[in-house]
Structure 1
Amino acid sequence: MEKKAEQTQSGQFEVAFNRIHRCLKDMVKDAHNDSFVELLNVGQKSHSIIRKYKDELYQFARLRNAIVHEKVDVDYYIAEPHIKVVRRIEYIATNFEKPPLAIAISSAPVFYYYEDAYLKDVLKAINKFDFTRFPIYDKNYQYIGLLTASDIIRWMAKEMTSNVISLGNVRVRDLLNNNKEYYVDFIKGTTNLYEVEEMFDQYHAQDKKLQAVILSEDGTSNSKPKAILTPWDLLDPEPNG
């Protein structure tokens, strides 16, 4: 019975490895050949999910070679992976086949404001929910800009006279007029987490800091926002796992 269980673990490992290999073939089109390691070497340059797991995948490739080369029969293996290794490669294979959606780690619903909203209402949201980034729209849901807590603090510092600031009639648009432009992008609800990571990486490669990615109803800047992702949201190493 023990030998049968061990054979099953090796078989499960090989099945999961082949699942990942199939995904790599579908993802990476400019490799010199379809070998697992070649696909990793080429694919990591443009695919966030490959970069995320590449160190483990290289190890899995070596383990897979050991298992296959020491296979003495169709269903009989000498080299056996630990059950934790099998579970790990199965988890990674599932992530390749069905990546988690970006909305899974986003802040939803998103707190957004119209340009004629009062600043005091934004301050209430900061105090109650500890949010720091607020998309601003016109009445037609056309994105205008991003208002951050840092912008508000800088504006207050400039406006302070005699240690008093009157906020009663201050509108969001009053802060946006002199606000610097932030890089913000937009996605659909079907966008997966690794596609969003690629967006942040692409901006970074251009020496630009992507402040937020907004998930809107149709994935454009002129539709109602449903969720927002910031660089902080991407710090979770294993969403849904």
Structure 2
Amino acid sequence: MYKKQGQLLSERFEVAFNQVHDALRDIVQINDERFVVLVKVGAKKYQIIDTFKKDLEQYARLRNAIVHEKMEVGFYIAEPNAKVVHHIEKIADVLNRPNYALSIATKKVVYFDHLDSILHVTDAIKKYGYSKFPIYKNNNCIGLFTAGTIMKWMVENMENGMVNLSNILVADIMEFEKEHSLEIVAKDLNIFEIENIFEEAHKKKRKIEGVIITENGKMDEVPLGIITAWDLIQIDYTID
């Protein structure tokens, strides 16, 4: 009975390990398919892989012991315990079922037309505590508007310590807005793909202020969510 249970655990471990390996190939996408290399490279690019890096490196060694030291087909000389098997199965499940990007996005996206009053923006800053707002012109997203830009404009236009915003439009202050790179993506993208967008931009020394999620990734669609680099940092990939 003990032997049968041991075989089951080893088989489950091997199945889960192969599932993790397949997921790493899909996520990391490099020419080298060796498990340890995928883990090492992937951990530098994706938070989720970095979270499990030490565990996966240990499981690679255990997998070698289990597979390469088989005495015969169906008989394993090394056996993982139930806790290890459960954990690698959890990791396999997380890697093979990545959350959609919309799951970590700010759902209540507040956006404005370039001809809206700047007072509408300041009201939104006060009400929601947001600091970045997509701006649309002729129903197309033309960029991000930040609270910092309002401050810059106020400094430039202050007279006797006073500034009048009553007749100022978003478009008037957008001239002071440095170009903020953003991406617009479809709602079916997963977190790994979003992380990759930020990583590729970083490699090119291009800062992305936000990724806007719409139904089909089109500029003229209503924003369903917005993701910043800070949202990625706060993802919790821990498992029991």
Per the normalisation by structure 2, the TM-score is: 0.84
Q: 1:184 to 1:163 in 2, by over 3 A?
A: same
Q: CA deviation at 1:87?
A: 3.2
User: Structure 1 residue 22 and structure 2 residue 22: aligned?
Assistant: yes
The question of whether the paired residues in 2 share the 8 Å contact of 1:48 and 1:198 is answered with: no
* SS in structure 2 of the partner of residue 225 of structure 1: coil
In 2, Cα distance between equivalents of 1:209 and 1:126: 23
Q: CA deviation at 1:52?
A: 5.7
Q: CA deviation at 1:51?
A: 5.6
C-alpha deviations, 1:27-62, integer Å up to 9, x for none?
Answer: 677636x54335546767877765664443222211
Corresponding residue for residue 121 of structure 2: 122
In 2, Cα distance between equivalents of 1:231 and 1:39: 23
Corresponding residue for residue 204 of structure 2: 206
Q: CA deviation at 1:146?
A: 0.8
Q: 1:49 to 1:240 in 2, by over 3 A?
A: closer
Identity fraction in percent:
40
Q: 1:190 to 1:208 in 2, by over 3 A?
A: same
Corresponding residue for residue 31 of structure 1: 31
Code of the residue aligned with 2:23 in structure 1: it is: C
Bigger shift: 44-53 or 148-157?
Answer: 44-53
The question of whether the paired residues in 1 share the 8 Å contact of 2:146 and 2:177 is answered with: no
* SS in structure 2 of the partner of residue 191 of structure 1: coil
Per the normalisation by structure 1, the TM-score is: 0.84
The question of whether the paired residues in 1 share the 8 Å contact of 2:13 and 2:89 is answered with: yes
* SS in structure 1 of the partner of residue 199 of structure 2: helix
Corresponding residue for residue 193 of structure 1: 191
Corresponding residue for residue 143 of structure 1: 141
In 2, Cα distance between equivalents of 1:169 and 1:129: 23
Corresponding residue for residue 221 of structure 1: 219
The question of whether the paired residues in 2 share the 8 Å contact of 1:40 and 1:54 is answered with: yes
User: Structure 1 residue 178 and structure 2 residue 176: aligned?
Assistant: yes
C-alpha deviations, 1:112-165, integer Å up to 9, x for none?
Answer: 111111111111211121111100002x42111210111111112222212212
* SS in structure 2 of the partner of residue 166 of structure 1: coil
Q: CA deviation at 1:73?
A: 6.2
Corresponding residue for residue 87 of structure 2: 88
Code of the residue aligned with 1:180 in structure 2: it is: K
In 1, Cα distance between equivalents of 2:65 and 2:182: 47
Corresponding residue for residue 12 of structure 2: 12
The question of whether the paired residues in 2 share the 8 Å contact of 1:31 and 1:39 is answered with: no
Gaps of 5+ in 1: none
Code of the residue aligned with 2:219 in structure 1: it is: S
C-alpha deviations, 1:172-220, integer Å up to 9, x for none?
Answer: 1111123211110111011000100000000000111111000022202
Bigger shift: 84-93 or 144-153?
Answer: 84-93
* SS in structure 2 of the partner of residue 211 of structure 1: strand
In 1, Cα distance between equivalents of 2:223 and 2:111: 8
Gaps of 5+ in 2: none
* SS in structure 2 of the partner of residue 62 of structure 1: helix
Q: CA deviation at 1:238?
A: 2.6
